[in-house]
């Protein structure tokens, strides 16, 4: 069995999609459709920067999605590999869950772009700049990370935001609490704590205003039936009902990204191969979660051609 997986925020970089657009009409059509949906020259920012504009959450989220969907469209339209024939399920990391739903037909490309633009704006607006922060704990498992979060909170929000793999957990919350956590890592047997260059504290209770905004948006644009099962971030379990997925997407804004458990759940269901489309971030994580899993990261035309040969 094979899963197609889609990266989250942090995988953006200036120049993303340029090679694909130069080589493929299908890719150019994706980037144009996203630009039209957002009434914005997003592909220009993806191609040329400036980097600080691409890093803005409201731009990074639709850009990462557009890049991954462009890779998928080239695979489907030019290599003749249909998602439903090549994959048994899909999953995505944080915003990547929306990309996975777009890939599986639950949202149109234009609606996915607009939802992610709104999600980025709402997440940024939920907390004043400087009030929140996030840190990566290296050499930490979930148990150690949770103990550190509890010790550092002191009445403020300090929560596990991402359980990425057995060696990397991310905390999110009030800046002071996150700074306390970084200072206390050694006492909790954790190798290192690193403040992340993010503009808001994602996936913690401080994001409730953004969750409310997404609840309203998803009432107007609910997911339709999807062609493949999806593994949801907040449950690390398979979802097949659009109504359930709609609720989980709202919970996901404040909830933990249970990526490690999601990968283990897919493995337990029989997935042997993971194909990451549009990035090279999830592949190394999956390798640390289960070294026996086969992982392929697909970004360039050469990657697409190699994958098409393998699947055909």
The answer to whether 101 and 107 are in contact (CB under 8 A) is: yes
If we measure between CA atoms, which residue out of 163, 146, 164 comes closest to residue 287?
164
Tokens of 253: 């804004």
How many residues in total does the chain contain? 312
Burial zone of 135 (CB within 10 Å; 0-12 exposed, 13-18 middle, 19+ buried): buried
Among 93, 203, 262, 297, the active-site one is 203
How far apart CA 116 and CA 279 sit, in angstroms, is 18
Longest dimension (CA), the chain: 56
Options 11, 24, 94, 297, the catalytic residue: 94
Of 56, 188, 95, 98, nearest to 135 (Cα)? 188
- Per the CB < 8 A criterion, the answer to whether 235 and 281 are in contact is no
Answer yes or no: 94 catalytic: yes
Q: Terminus-to-terminus CA distance in the chain, angstroms?
A: 15
Instruction: Please tell me the distance from the alpha carbon of residue 187 to that of residue 153, in angstroms, as a whole number.
Output: 15
Could you confirm whether 203 is annotated as catalytic?
yes
Element (H, E) at 242: helix 242-254
Active site residues: 94, 203
């Amino acid at each position: 069995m094979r899963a197609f997986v889609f990266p989250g925020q942090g995988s953006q970089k200036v120049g993303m999609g340029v090679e694909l657009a130069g080589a493929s009409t299908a890719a150019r059509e994706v980037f144009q459709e996203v630009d039209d949906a957002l009434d914005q020259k997003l592909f220009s920012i993806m191609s040329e920067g400036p980097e600080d504009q691409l890093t803005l959450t409201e731009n990074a989220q639709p850009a990462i999605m557009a890049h991954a969907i462009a890779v998928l469209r080239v695979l489907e339209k030019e290599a003749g590999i249909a998602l439903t024939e090549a994959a048994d399920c899909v999953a995505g990391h944080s915003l990547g869950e929306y990309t996975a739903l777009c890939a599986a037909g639950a949202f149109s490309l234009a609606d996915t772009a607009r939802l992610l633009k709104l999600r980025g704006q709402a997440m940024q607006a939920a907390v004043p700049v400087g009030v929140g922060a996030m840190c990566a704990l290296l050499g930490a498992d979930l148990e150690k990370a949770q103990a550190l979060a509890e010790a550092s909170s002191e009445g403020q929000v300090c929560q596990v935001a991402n359980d990425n793999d057995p060696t990397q957990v991310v905390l999110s919350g009030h800046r002071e609490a996150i700074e306390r956590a970084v200072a206390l890592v050694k006492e909790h047997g954790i190798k290192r704590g690193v403040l992340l260059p993010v503009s808001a504290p994602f996936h913690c209770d401080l994001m409730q205003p953004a969750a409310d905004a997404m609840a309203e948006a998803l009432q107007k644009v609910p997911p339709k039936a999807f062609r493949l099962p999806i593994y949801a971030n907040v449950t690390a379990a398979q979802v097949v009902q659009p109504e359930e997925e709609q609720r989980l997407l709202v919970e996901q804004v404040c909830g933990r990204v249970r990526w490690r458990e999601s990968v283990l759940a897919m493995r337990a269901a029989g997935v042997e191969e993971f194909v990451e489309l549009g990035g090279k971030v999830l592949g190394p994580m999956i390798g640390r979660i289960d070294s026996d899993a086969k992982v392929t990261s697909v970004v360039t035309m050469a990657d697409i051609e190699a994958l098409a040969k393998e699947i055909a």
